[in-house]
Structure 1
Amino acid sequence: MSSIKAVLRKKANSQKLYPIALRIIKDRKATFIYIGQYIKQIDWDNKNCAVKKSHPDFLYINQLILNKKSEVNKKLIDAEMEINYQSVTAIKSKVLNKKNEDFFLISNYYLNQLKKRKQFHQVDIEKQRLQVFKNFIKKDTFSLGDFDLRLMKGFENHLSTKRKLAKRTIANYMITIRTILNIAISDFSIKNVSYPFGRGKYQIRFPESVKIGLTIEEIKILENIKDLTMAQQYALNAWLLSFYFAGIRVSDVLFLKWKDFLDNRLHYRMGKNKKLVSLKIPNKSKGYS
């Protein structure tokens, strides 16, 4: 007789988070398989053996628990059907030594994290890149242990020759793959990831970009252009504000408020890295608010 149950173990880590494990009981002997997820004690539902909705990743972690339970259950059924006796420790060893962690399962977790941060445009971009990679390997699942230098070189060649992508765009595709592999290692403690990046392996290289600025005459033409629609005028004003404030990102310009302007200075927090910035208000910018 055997049973499987998801439990929250009682020993917390240094962040005061508790590990989720599957408790396997066979022939009155128990062992535990950890699924690589840690949560607060308050986020665990003891009655239903699941993560509560109060946790931001409850859907994903609960699905992970179900997947792991299904996998372990199959091993238990196989053990019951075999003539030779298999202990609970042997079953645990089979589960832990599997080599089929799926790259696209981790990629779904990555996309969900972007959605939670409301980076919806980035989600669309990353989805498209992952679909291109899936089409290249012609598989719906791909083991984290199957990445190697040859695969990355082949994918790079595919992006360059078949899809005619620029070197910078190709680098962005590789960054997506590297990010997901890093998540598999850091967030899920998956040990059998074949990591193809780094020294002596595939190195992501960024080509130097050529930036050509506008001339003073061209800026003056923009400042004095007439007969624009209201939408065009707003767009031009935003661009000129960015220009005169030393190249503030347009995304930051769009979120500026009157209260950000104080004592002849602009005080704002950068959207990209949350850094606080203070800039003197140039006279040229005062007509474009």
Structure 2
Amino acid sequence: MASISAVLRKNKKADGTYPLVIRITKDRKTTYISLGHHVALSDWDAKKQRVKKSYPNAPQLNNMIAKRLSEASSKLIELETNNTDTSSQVIGKAFQKAKENTFFRQADLYIARLEKAGNFNRISAEKPRIKRLKEFLNNRDVYFPEIDVTFLKDFKAWLKGTRTITERTAVNHLVVIRSIYNQAITDKLVDPKYYPFGKGGIVIKFPDSKKSGLTPADIIALENAELDEKPNHARNLWLFAFYFGGMRASDVLRLQWSDFEDGRLYYKMGKNEKGGSLKVSPKAEAILAQYRRDNPKHNLVFPDLEKLPDLKDKAAVQEYIKVRIKANNKFMVKAMEGAKVNKQATSHKSRHSFAQMAKGVISASALQEIFRHSDLKTTEGYMGNNFVNEEIDSAMDDVMARLSLTTQK
């Protein structure tokens, strides 16, 4: 019968600690599996095979040790049930394979898959969340069974205690953990019995948020404000996005002059690759006129990304887009002050503003086409995706007309 225990190996480190391992012994042959931690002799209870209370985060580490011992025993029983060789080396290799499926190893795979799929927006948002979990764990890796309800509650409390964040932002961190956990279960690397989400565990629930936008009067005030160069540029980007149905800021910054043809803008939304076209309104054309110049770098309409050597590295482009959006949001504060409108107008507010103004003017189906929230119809690909929808054109004109009526009052 094999002997499985948690011990400290005798390989003393310079700081006086010893490697914590699972020791598997059978037929006088021993295999050691590292648990990724080093413990001082004064913090180790050899008889109980656990760290003492004096060790930092002792409950979490002891929980992990108990689970690793249980997993090693389960792996031994599984091998014996299947009449498989149960030498210490075979048991060790089987356990090692399971042990390597740690959270951050799977997180790396998760990010790699997003990159392969071209989901750079999600990568830029979720990488920092994974990094914060690693910070919470003092840069150590963690096994999936360790991520239980208590762990998640502690992490959420730590986030709110160390950073000024909203409830929604804290929940977004849990969503990433859940996605990686689901990936590991789907790949049959983790037993679903450990799953800490859903009924009986952590239920992901986003708090209600007020998605308010600017009123027509606010937008007219913004249009007419006298502004310095940088706030003016930020205002132009915001209004341009609004004029095209709340176009995403990242898509606005990537626009090239070749995207415009015969008075229309043709582009694919970066978030989901949905394509289509929209009519260029006179207000949008007035902004474009301010940026026409000879030989613009990368053929970009707006100069924000001209600093980049090229636009081929999508990950680098997306990272720099985040920098530019943050900077432009900062200058929008000054733009709103210049317009004497006491409201926030971040880049995404253009989308909310358009949606509110469109209510009662644009049909649900037309608005879904403009926002590209649903699957595009096959006719959208007609003539090389140069899809022209008269209902959308008319609806866009109606929204612009509302602005004109507000100006006249």
SS at 1:246 equivalent = coil
Determine the structure 1 residue equivalent to 2:321: none
Counterparts in 2 of 1:139 and 1:228: CA distance versus 1, 3 Å: closer
* Residue 275 of structure 1: how far off its partner (Å): 0.5
Determine the structure 2 residue equivalent to 1:257: 256
Letter in 2 for 1:251: S
Letter in 2 for 1:266: L
CA contact (8 A) 2:243 2:284 kept: yes
Matches within 5 A, 1:273-288: 273-288=272-287
Of residues 93, 96, 107, the one that matches 1:95 is: 93
CA contact (8 A) 1:244 1:284 kept: yes
- The 1-side partners of 2:132 and 2:148 are apart by 18
CA contact (8 A) 2:144 2:190 kept: no
Counterparts in 2 of 1:171 and 1:280: CA distance versus 1, 3 Å: same
Letter in 1 for 2:236: N
- The 1-side partners of 2:262 and 2:212 are apart by 34
User: Structure 1 or 2: larger helix share?
Assistant: 2
Determine the structure 1 residue equivalent to 2:265: 266
Deviations 1:111-167 (CA, angstroms, capped at 9, x unpaired): 455566787786565454334323434571211122222222232233334545311
CA contact (8 A) 1:237 1:288 kept: yes
Deviations 1:174-226 (CA, angstroms, capped at 9, x unpaired): 0121122223233x430336221223321111112112322323212222233
Is it true that 1:82 corresponds to 2:29 in the alignment? yes
- The 2-side partners of 1:264 and 1:120 are apart by 30
- The 2-side partners of 1:124 and 1:283 are apart by 35
Gaps (5+ residues) in structure 1? 1-73
Letter in 1 for 2:168: R
Determine the structure 1 residue equivalent to 2:166: 166
Gaps (5+ residues) in structure 2? 1-21, 31-79, 289-409
CA contact (8 A) 1:196 1:202 kept: yes
- The 1-side partners of 2:155 and 2:220 are apart by 46
- The 2-side partners of 1:118 and 1:88 are apart by 43
- The 2-side partners of 1:97 and 1:189 are apart by 15
Determine the structure 1 residue equivalent to 2:228: 228
- The 2-side partners of 1:122 and 1:268 are apart by 20
CA contact (8 A) 1:144 1:192 kept: no
Matches within 5 A, 1:190-209: 190-192=189-191, 194-209=194-209
Letter in 1 for 2:86: A
Determine the structure 2 residue equivalent to 1:176: 176
Aligned length: 211
CA contact (8 A) 1:148 1:195 kept: yes
CA contact (8 A) 1:265 1:279 kept: yes
- Aligned Cα root-mean-square deviation (Å): 3.5
Counterparts in 2 of 1:125 and 1:274: CA distance versus 1, 3 Å: closer
CA contact (8 A) 1:266 1:280 kept: yes
- The 2-side partners of 1:263 and 1:123 are apart by 35
Counterparts in 2 of 1:280 and 1:139: CA distance versus 1, 3 Å: closer
- The 1-side partners of 2:257 and 2:139 are apart by 53
User: Structure 1 or 2: larger strand share?
Assistant: 1
Determine the structure 2 residue equivalent to 1:143: 143
Matches within 5 A, 1:25-104: 82=29, 89-91=85-87, 92=90, 94-97=92-95, 100=99, 101-104=101-104
Bigger Rg, which one: 2
* Residue 93 of structure 1: how far off its partner (Å): 5.1
Greater shift after overlay, 207-216 or 90-99?
90-99
SS at 1:90 equivalent = coil
CA contact (8 A) 2:167 2:207 kept: yes
Matches within 5 A, 1:10-25: none
Letter in 2 for 1:102: T
CA contact (8 A) 1:241 1:285 kept: yes
Deviations 1:259-280 (CA, angstroms, capped at 9, x unpaired): 3233433221110000112223
Counterparts in 2 of 1:127 and 1:250: CA distance versus 1, 3 Å: closer
Which structure's relative contact order is higher, taking Cα pairs within 8 Å and 6+ residues apart? 2
Determine the structure 2 residue equivalent to 1:9: none
TM-score with structure 1 length normalisation? 0.60
* Residue 227 of structure 1: how far off its partner (Å): 4.9
